[in-house]
Amino acid sequence: MQDCFKRDIDYLRVSLTSNCNLRCQYCMPEQGIKQNEKILSQKDLIHLVELISSTGIKKIRLTGGEPLLYPNIEVLIRRFKAIKGIEKIVLTTNGILLADKIRSLKEAGINGINLSLDCLDKNLFRKITRGGNIDKVLSGIKAAKEKDIPLKINSVIMQGVNTQEIIPLIEFANDNKIDLRFIELMPMNVAKNFKAVKEDDLKAIISKKYGALKPIDVFEGPAHYYQVENLVINIGFISALSHKFCANCNRLRLTSTGILKPCLHYNSGVNLKKLLNDNISDEEILMIIKDTIYHKPKNHHLEDKTFCQKEDKSMSLIGG
Ligand code: SAM
Ligand code: SF4
């Protein structure tokens, strides 16, 4: 359905858990994040996703925390794929468990995987993720390629942390023919301890090494893509601050605790789990979902220091 600003809202990001097997320094504190609210039961999760999808959702992304920690994620993929109108089920993962899971994900019918990878240097990877083993991620990428699952790599580049990894990441993605997107760090929670490298600075580094960047039309949510003169892959950018994309935003989020969030950057949302627990009828819940979609905020206010409804939770709690 359309919201009141005539945006087609057809993409749902579902956070399956806020737990993670890594502790990326810009996403979580070392000790992890304690989730006080209980997460949705599998039955309630499926029921809510079915209700939300009936408004016209075409694509569902499973995320987290680390979604591959969810027991029997394959059951969810099969159930969500069977929902009328759903064209694609995709996944965002840190890749640690990917090699072990790839066969069952493929059999369940996963349509694509976005892999988060901020560097290729073993020691730096261990440092940024506080203990992660990059070899496992690289095995996961290899396994996904062997199964012909469409892959993208997402990288967050931070000043003084991994700028030296920009070219190695591009070389790796280009050699493996995997499109690469740079995600601009958003200043939420512990991420405020770091400084993003802005899109224009990334483009300058890329064009100096690989030649001109030519914009290409790919209608895919917030990312915009470029063909680069001396690369076989396309490079994408998702830059919430420096290239605000709210006018084209098509997304909704469901957190693992059952909150439906119409905008990542507002600290508000409707507690659908509570509605289920209070035995509110499906018709009424659907009306509330439609009302939430209709009133999706026009844009974020990340740049406005005085805005009081700003979301400041870690991306792992909201579902990045
Ligand atoms: N654990 C999975 C992973 O890392 O791919 C899925 C969840 S994670 C929260 C999803 C994405 O959010 C990752 O690509 C991560 O780099 C990104 N992320 C986390 N915090 C962020 C922030 N403050 N700004 C921008 N991206 C962020
Ligand atoms: Fe875990 Fe993903 Fe957050 Fe890293 S970015 S701590 S992998 S949820």
CATH number at residue 75: 3.20.20.70
Q: Is residue 198 part of a domain?
A: no
**Tokens 């899109």 found at:** 199
Domain count, the chain: 1
- How many Cα atoms are found within 13 Å in the side-chain-facing hemisphere of 58? 8
Fill in the DSSP letter of residue 17: -
**CB under 8 Å to 182, separation ≥6 — which residues?**
154, 155, 156, 157, 199, 202, 235, 236, 237, 238, 239
pLDDT above 60 for 108: yes
pTM of the model: 0.94
The answer as to whether 236 is a domain residue is no
CB 215 within 8 A of CB 178: no
User: Of the ligands numbered here, which is closest to the C-alpha atom of 190?
Assistant: 1
158: DSSP letter:
B
Give domain status of residue 238, yes or no: no
Task: Answer yes or no: is pLDDT of 40 > 60.
Answer: yes
Q: Which ligand is nearest to the Cα of residue 125, counting in written order?
A: 2
In this prediction, residue 37 carries a pLDDT of 87
Residue 64 has pLDDT above 60, yes or no: yes
Whether 50 is in a domain gets the answer: yes
Least confident window among 51-65, 131-145, 237-251, 306-320 = 306-320
Q: Give a yes or no: residue 99 inside a domain.
A: yes
Nearest CA to ligand 1 atom 20: 27
Work out the average pLDDT over 199-213. Answer: 97
Residue with tokens 């740079």: 182
Protein residue whose Cα sits closest to atom 8 of ligand 2: 65
Structural domain of 23? 11-152+249-318
> 284: CA distance to ligand 2 center in Å?
35
Which residues does ligand 1 sit against, CB inside 6 Å? 20, 26-27, 63-64, 66, 92-94, 116, 154, 156, 183, 185-186, 188, 191, 315-316, 320
pLDDT at 127: 98
Q: Note the pLDDT of residue 34.
A: 79
Residue pLDDT, tens place only, 184-199: 999 888 999 999 999 9
**Chain segment 147-181, per-residue pLDDT in tens:** 999 999 999 999 999 999 999 999 999 999 999 99
pLDDT value, residue 267:
75
Kindly state whether residue 302 falls inside one of the protein's structural domains: yes
Check if the beta carbon of residue 239 is closer than 8 Å to that of residue 248: no
Q: What is the pLDDT of residue 242?
A: 77
Beta bridge mates, 260? 254, 270
Residue 241 has pLDDT above 90, yes or no: no
Tens of pLDDT, residue by residue over 244-261, are: 678 888 999 999 999 999
Q: What is the phi-psi region of residue 130: left when phi exceeds 0, alpha when psi lies from -120 to 50, beta otherwise?
A: left
Q: For the chain, give the mean pLDDT.
A: 93
Q: Is residue 40 part of a domain?
A: yes
pLDDT digits (tens, 9 = 90+) for 250-289: 999 999 999 999 987 767 789 999 999 999 999 999 999 9
pLDDT over 60 (residue 301):
no
Does residue 229 fall inside a structural domain? no
Q: How far apart are CA 65 and CA 67, in angstroms?
A: 6
pLDDT exceeds 60 at position 307 = no
